[in-house]
Amino acid sequence: MRRRRSGSPFSLFSFQDAITSVCGVIVLITLLMALDLTRRATEETAPSAVARERVEETERRIEELRNNLSSVQATLDATAHIDEAALGMTIEEALAELEAARERLEATRAENAKIDERLEALAAVEERFAGQEARLEALEEQAKEAREEAEKTVAQAVDSERSVLYRYPESVGEIPHYVDISGAKIVVHTERGEGEVKTFDTPFSFTKWANTRPSSKEYFVLIVRPSGAEAFDFIESELDSNGYRYGIDLVGESRELVFLPAEGGGE
């Protein structure tokens, strides 16, 4: 027969070893975590350099605000003794001055508007002057051409033995009538007044017209041709009897009469 072994057939040593190892690992991890938490708490509670600068800047700003508050308080204390009545008068005076300034501004604006109107009027006058200058230049050019033409006419008349020149006077106070008297007809040349050439067939028709002219403002220049001697006698007698002034000039029968404008008056 077999012999039975003495003691327990099971051993708990391995289990206890595993439990002990696990507990040791847990304790180690706990200690490491506690150490890390302690370090972090220390770092969070210690103020950084940036935080210290911000705190210092805030303290300086607070100090400046306190100083400004003190200045404002001093100003308020200095103005606290001002009389309310005097302050009211000062405001009224300021309002009056403001109203006066507003009135001066309105007057200045009105004056500026008048100046603008004057400038516009001057601009319009300048435009009219510019147009007049252009017209004047055109008239001067026409007058120049007329003078040249008159000079040509004078030159031709001087060269011709058949022409007699007459120039109208410059005076505008009296009007002369140049009367060309021949046996065939009587021709009257007038520069001013009616401004046309009149022809009469008989001395009687001429004297009838002449008697209607004002003797104080008009006179006659009788240019007599040989064939008009008889007509001249009748005309001279009528002019004398009616108190008209006249002059006499004798020309040849075939001579041509050339009438020139006054030297200062144009055509």
Q: What percent of the chain has pLDDT over 70?
A: 77
Strands 186-190 and 175-181: antiparallel
Cα–Cα distance, 179 to 224 (Å, whole number): 8
Q: How many residues would you count in the chain?
A: 267
pLDDT digits (tens, 9 = 90+) for 21-52: 878 788 888 888 888 888 877 666 555 666 77
Q: Distance of CA 20 to CAs 14, 24, 25, 50, Å? A: 10, 6, 9, 49
pLDDT in tens, 116-132: 888 888 888 888 888 88
Question: Which letter does DSSP use for residue 235 in this model?
Answer: H
Residues 6+ apart with CB under 8 A from 220: 176, 177, 179, 210, 239, 244, 245, 246, 247
Domain ranges of the chain: 44-74, 85-159, 163-260
The CB density around residue 123, as the number of other CB atoms within 10 Å, is 10
Q: What is the C-alpha to C-alpha distance for residues 171 and 125, in angstroms, rounded to an integer?
A: 33
Q: What is the pTM of this model?
A: 0.41
**CB-side neighbour CA atoms (13 Å) of 194:** 12
Q: How far apart are CA 202 and CA 208, in angstroms?
A: 10
Residue 55: pLDDT over 60: yes
Of all helices (H) and strands (E), which one includes residue 178? strand 175-181
Quote the CA–CA distance of 78 and 135 in Å, as a whole number: 80
Long-range contacts of 189-196 (CB under 8 A, 24+ apart): 189/257, 189/259, 191/259, 191/261, 191/262, 192/168, 193/218
Looking at domain 163-260, its CATH architecture is 2-Layer Sandwich (3.30)
Give the residue with greater pLDDT, 146 vs 234. 234
Q: Is the pLDDT of residue 53 over 60?
A: yes
Whole-number pLDDT of residue 74:
75
Residue 1 has pLDDT above 90, yes or no: no
Confidence of residue 2 (pLDDT cuts 50, 70, 90): low
